[in-house]
Structure 1
Amino acid sequence: MRLFDRTRSGGETLQFQQEVASRWSFETTEGVDPVTVPDEAGTANALTLHGGAVRTDTWQVDVGGLSLDGTGYATAATMPVDTSGSFTLTAWAQAAEAPTESVTVMSAEGGNRPAFQVAFVPDERYPDVGTWRLSIADQDAADAEVAVLDAAEVRDARDWTHLALAYDGVTKEARLYINGSLLDRACADGDGDGVADDPACAAWEPWVGNVQAFKATSFQIGRSRTGPDAGSYFSGLVDDVWVFQGTLSHMQVRMLSASFFDVPTVVPGT
């Protein structure tokens, strides 16, 4: 566990903690029917593999990964952290082929809808590329208000990509990192008058503020679920999934995205 201080407006100093709540590296599995993946954070919150979800020796970190065939998925019986508070989720993902529809790598589920969802959405004009998207719902209901944050640059989902969602329950801000970076998009202003040269250009920031997340009850890899209905299945590889209590810093996310061998199960930088 790592403790750190943050100063709130008005000068009040608050103390927060960062802690590894769960980590699944897919180096080993246990049991049969169902097959489970142990939680390396030392908890009993194992992942259960369903359908066409199997451990594979194809990997991005160390020597094991999770292979999904577009119908399989993995679930944790309980959500490792309170998603209405501060937390961070990270994972590596590589699609088997260019997705033709939205596919979900990881989601934090409620009874009626996801609280958080990290998905890849293909571009309608150029189907071989698309956008990584973060969706956040404020309540576990069909009529929830959903905030959506798209990554600034189009990507090829067939490339290994490090995804990180950091949510600050104090400031109500969510950030989406791609390969360890927060990428913004600025509009060209050749004459320096403060007005974009292209009127259609809109500046973009890689975070969304004033969002309130609800408390999820389960964690899913490779799909999303709304009530009894599931969909948005991911086909490809997923590796080294972490859940942290607390919001990781930019540097800590970057450290994880650049670590490939013998990564200890501790908060980055400790």
Structure 2
Amino acid sequence: MELNGHVALITGAGSGLGAATARHLAACGATIIALDFDATRAKATAEATGGHAVVADVADTGAVEQALREGIAAAGQAPRIVVNCAGIAPAARVVGREGKLSTDLFRQVIGVNLIGTYNVMSAATREMLVLDPLEDGERGVVINTASIAYEDGQFGQTAYAASKGGVAAMSLPAAREFAKSGIRVIAIAPGLFHTPMMESLPEETTAAITANIPFPARLGDPEEYAALVEHIVRNRFLNATTIRLDGATRLPPR
């Protein structure tokens, strides 16, 4: 699918991978609907890309549907491209030092990362299904963000790894469901990237993390994630898979 003239809905568009993807796809000619929990950040991305800002907690089904309606009204058409970048990554033991269970945090992470991704995918594909097909019968593409933690989850990442494992596992059954309608579903599993989450770490911690990346021996640039999104959109034969984007990193236990 070409990007020029089509609408792209990006969640988590206010920062990090989402903001980079919004800028990149806008430069390719797409009209951006920038969805973020933070209204100020969503507006900043929309202004930078000439797109439209909408605000929602992706874990809230009703809020997602309302934001999508607002975005479609502003853009004038439904999105053919959806990129789910919204996510959180708090760390916690399954059982804390004082014997306290981390069930509430687990539920929160699953709510944002997994249910939030499902909410957006569900609401957006409902709109895609009624669009006219393009070349090869394609109507749209959904790109979800997993993480290499779904395979290499570290100590304290039980909730995060579980949520991202769910995102990766959705690709095949969702792609099979939407195949007859010409909608593709793919996941990207990023490794360690220059994002606000990583930039908040002490310099020595970042250096230790970077030392574990074989090649190139550095953190990923969000633009590299955005470039892969562009390729997935353009390459119609990519479907139902999870692509690791990690510089050959395999996370150690801690």
- The question of a shared fold, defined as TM-score above 0.5 by the shorter chain, is answered with no
Q: Which has the larger radius of gyration?
A: 1
Q: Which has the higher strand share?
A: 1
TM-score, L = length of structure 2: 0.26
